[in-house]
Amino acid sequence: MAGIMRHVFGIGAWATLLAVLFAAGRSSGQPPPPVRGLVKPVPVKSDDEAPAPTDDSSGLSWISRDATYEVSSTYSSPEVTLTPSPGLLTGWDPQRPPWGGEGDPFSFHTTNKEARPHIIITLADISPVERLFIKNRGGRAVHDRAAGLTVWLSKDKKSWRHVWTAGRVAPSWMVKLKAPVDARYVKIGLPKPNFLHLALVKVYGPSGDPPILTRLAKTDRILLKDGKVLLGAIENKAYTVKAFFGKIEVPARRVTGIVAGRDKPARVLLVQADGQVIAAAPTGQSVQLKLTTGSTQSVPLAAIRQLSYRISKAKPASFAPSQRAVCLRSGDRLIWAECRQKLQLATTWGTIDLPPGSLTYVRPVDKEGRVHRVQFRGQTALSGTLLPDAITFKLALGPTATVRPRDFIRLTTGAKPSMPDDPTTMVMRNGDRLFGRLDHKALTARTEFGRVKVSPINVLAITFDPANAHTATLKLWNSSTHRGRLVETHLVFALSPGGQKVKVKIAHIASIMRPYAFRDPEILKVVAKLIAQLAAESNEDREAAAKELGKMDNSIIPLLKKHLNHRNAEVRRHIRNIIKKLGIEE
């Protein structure tokens, strides 16, 4: 009997202790939905604890800093619900300290011995993944719960590729993949029933951003390849390196750091204060470091893992927003002043021009760089083959550089995104989306009741039959529908902004969507005139225009929303009031 009482008391004591430890994580937020369909895990090799490796980006970018994640389950009890913390991906949650206390941090906690507990991290886009740094829960007594921790990667969240399983439990793991794997989703889970709780996950890859540098406020820093750290003042006046476009000398005043190359140890990544990165071979140069003791030490570049200058006004901690830059798989990130060739995109339905001023970025969508995704300023996104095969850029550094599109990670133009004037959306069967307007006076469909001719402005939506591409259903301004075969074999679409016209075969179109439709095309002119009148000098004219707009149908709301950022404060005020009135009536 005494033994039974001691056992019962032990259970109660552990329950009380668990409530105290988790009290700091109390939250009213709802747990994320569970994720199903784990692939078969790889068997665990050993549960003996291994030493903790250090977090080492090796010149890669931290591509999961702005990601999101979901948990297969969330621990909950009458005393506490452990809502997942964003600190898992950022390293720290400013809203509250890490759960578990100062010495036992973790960012999420699954439910009681779930069969296959896991998390799924969703990156901003499909990116090459090369490394992961995973930090176990802080308390050493619960490290063994992570035995057999496994990582899978996926592009579509359906087909998963196993890339790593922990051989032994450890305070942390530095996962180095043999080759980059393109993925948008990262799944981390256990092969057997248990709790899953981790403190931190960092996903690294060559995103085209400058590599991460550890920089101090008062001194320069050199991290050697043997792990030793040297502090002092770097006295080099310039660095001479040999890049793929030629030999170049970079003044030290422009340099924020140097990182050892990943794929070729003899190469280094020279990072400049403006965000440029040059992947190059050093020309036998050494770094002269004046130590804090007063002596000067010469350090060969080949012995350095990372060199970083102290943070200063001339070399701030963060880089300026992305300019015109071409980011390459080699690690180069070069700001360009001029593109010497005419860029084009060969798509399944034709070749279109790519004026740099109309684009925001170009990036590959496959590992080989054969297919590229082009994002236009007006939200249009297209996929195809980037032309020509070799592109020459005049660099801000002075020389020219010729690169192949298959070597791109990202090409940015510095152009800012904008909302299209007419937000008509054409969705292609391959997933491409075009934003702009239909450049037709009328569309004609043969229906069972005869020919029907409609103006594009009357159209709310057009959907095309997958089995018979030319058979379409047209939904009009008054929600009436017509089904028939379009007379037109191609549709002309004017991209926004800029108005570049593309001719698209109907067989390639899945649907056309418009957020508003009008019976009378003249309504656009009337609304434009009244909005201009909202900025009139006379108060009577302004109030009259607002009154007329307030009497109109709520279908004009999308037209009004385009002027919410009007430079005139009076116009903005009237627009907000009219939208509110029409929205309430809606």
Residue 4 lies in a domain: no
Of residues 44 and 539, more confidently modeled: 539
- For 89-116, write each residue's pLDDT tens digit: 877 654 445 556 666 788 899 998 888 9
Tell me whether residue 13 is in a domain: no
Record the tokens describing residue 336, joined without a space.
């360009």
Q: Has residue 357 got a pLDDT over 50?
A: yes
Q: Choose the weakest-confidence range: 238-252, 408-422, 494-508.
A: 408-422
State the virtual CA torsion across 275, 276, 281, 284 in degrees, nearest 10. Answer: -60
- The parent domain of residue 100 ranges over 21-205
Based on the fold, state whether residues 261 and 330 are members of the same structural domain: no
Out of 461, 490, 513, pick the residue that ends a domain: 513
From residue 243, give the alpha-carbon distance in Å to each of 128, 251, 257, 399.
23, 15, 16, 11
Question: Taking the chain, what is the end-to-end CA distance rounded to the nearest angstrom?
Answer: 72
CATH at residue 526: 1.25.10.10
- Residues 67, 171, single domain; the answer is yes
The answer to whether residue 8 sits within a structural domain is no
The DSSP bridge partners found for residue 408 are 328
Share of the chain above pLDDT 90, in %: 35
Tokens representing 243? 């890049």
Asked if residue 134 and residue 191 are part of one domain, the reply reads: yes
Residue 486 falls inside a structural domain: yes
Please report the pLDDT score of residue 17 as a whole number.
39
- Cβ atoms of 68 and 108 within 8 Å: the answer is no
Select from 513, 543, 571 the last residue of a domain. Answer: 513
Q: Is residue 328 packed enough to be buried (19+ CB in 10 Å), middle (13-18) or exposed (0-12)? A: buried
CA separation for the pair 304, 328 (Å, rounded): 23
Mean pLDDT of 211-220: 89
Per-residue pLDDT tens over the stretch 217-248: 999 999 998 888 999 999 999 999 899 999 99
Identify which has the larger pLDDT, 87 or 462. 462
Residue 26, C-beta contacts closer than 8 angstroms, at least 6 positions apart: 80, 81
Residue 6 lies in a domain: no
Candidates 306, 374, 363, 301; CA nearest to 329 is 363
Joined together, the tokens standing for residue 378 give: 């007006």
Angstrom distance (rounded) from CA 206 to CA 224: 22
CA distance 308 to 297: 16
Query: What local confidence, expressed as pLDDT, does residue 250 receive?
Result: 92
As a whole number of angstroms, the distance between CA 170 and CA 153 comes to 22
Is residue 362 included in any domain, yes or no?
yes
Domains held by the chain: number:
5
459 with 494, same domain? Answer: yes
Question: pLDDT tens for residues 283-303?
Answer: 778 999 999 888 999 999 888
Q: Are residues 88 and 172 in the same domain?
A: yes
In a domain, 418, yes or no: no
Contact 199, 134 (CB under 8 A): no
> Which of 90-94, 346-350, 400-404 is predicted with the least confidence, judged by mean pLDDT?
90-94
pLDDT at 59: 61
Domain containing residue 140: CATH number: 2.60.120.260
pLDDT bracket for residue 464 (50, 70, 90): very high
β-bridge pairing 286-291 and 229-234: antiparallel
15-24, 49-58, 386-395: the lowest-pLDDT one: 15-24
Same domain, 405 and 435: no
Both 349 and 492 in one domain: the answer is no
Which of the pair, 310 or 538, is modelled with greater confidence? 310
**Is the pLDDT reported for residue 403 higher than 90?**
yes
Q: How far is CA 226 from the centre of its chain?
A: 34
Is 9 inside a domain boundary?
A: no
Indicate if 25 and 145 belong to the same structural domain.
yes
Distant-in-sequence, close-in-space partners of 359: CB < 8 Å, separation ≥ 6: 374, 375, 376, 377, 413, 415
Residues 455 and 332 both lie in one domain: no
Task: Using the predicted structure, report yes or no on whether residue 521 has a pLDDT greater than 80.
Answer: no
| pLDDT attached to residue 266 | 67
| pLDDT tens sequence across 573-582 | 888 888 888 7
Residues 6+ apart with CB under 8 A from 16: none
What does the H/E/C string look like for 150-180? EEEEECCCCCCEEEEECCCCCCEEEEEEEEE
Same domain, 391 and 484: no
Shared-domain flag, residues 450 and 391: no
Chain length of the chain = 586
d(CA 167, CA 165): 6
End of a domain among 449, 482, 513? Answer: 513
Integer Cα distance of 165 and 168 in angstroms: 9
More confident residue, 37 or 527: 527
pLDDT band at 551 (very low <50, low <70, confident <90, very high): confident
Q: Is the pTM of this model over 0.85?
A: no
Query: Residue 82 carries which side chain, given as an amino acid letter?
Result: L
Query: In terms of domains, do 431 and 297 share one?
Result: no
Average confidence score pLDDT of the chain: 82
Residue 8 φ/ψ, nearest 5 degrees: -65, -45
